[in-house]
Amino acid sequence: MVLLVDDSAADRRLTTDVLENTGLSIQLRCVASGEEALEALRGENGNEDALRPDLVLLDLGLPGISGQEVLAAIKADEALQNVPVVVLSSQDDDRTVGEMFGLGAHEFASKPLDREQIMSVIEYVTEFA
């Protein structure tokens, strides 16, 4: 299962469309904020079972709890720390990319994503993570 965390409805729709057309059997769950992501991952706020995704696609520029804070929380949680996280952001300067890898991101992809980038990320994570 892939958890997509992105506040942009257009980006969620694009990613969903691409994943549905991969030919792979991928279950996708989308949330629009860092708060929703952490609630789902922790099993809070009416979610009976905490999510244990195979992959998290995480937008960096989220309102409220930032993508950086979500990544740090995932990597600090023993039950989640081994889940591969791919950070998605239009901020692709060396400093930002380095910080995300320093926090434990498995990959960094620049937005806006296209089909080839999404497929490359999925192949990377499923093959090497």
CB 112 within 8 A of CB 11: yes
What integer pLDDT is reported at residue 9 of this predicted model? 94
State pLDDT tens for residues 3-14: 999 999 998 998
State pLDDT tens for residues 73-129: 999 999 899 999 999 988 888 999 999 999 999 989 888 777 787 777 777 666 654
Domains of the chain (ranges plus CATH)?
2-128 (3.40.50.2300)
Lowest mean pLDDT among 19-23, 58-62, 78-82, 124-128: 124-128
CB 62 within 8 A of CB 90: no
Q: What is the mean pLDDT of residues 48-52?
A: 72
pLDDT above 80: residue 40: yes
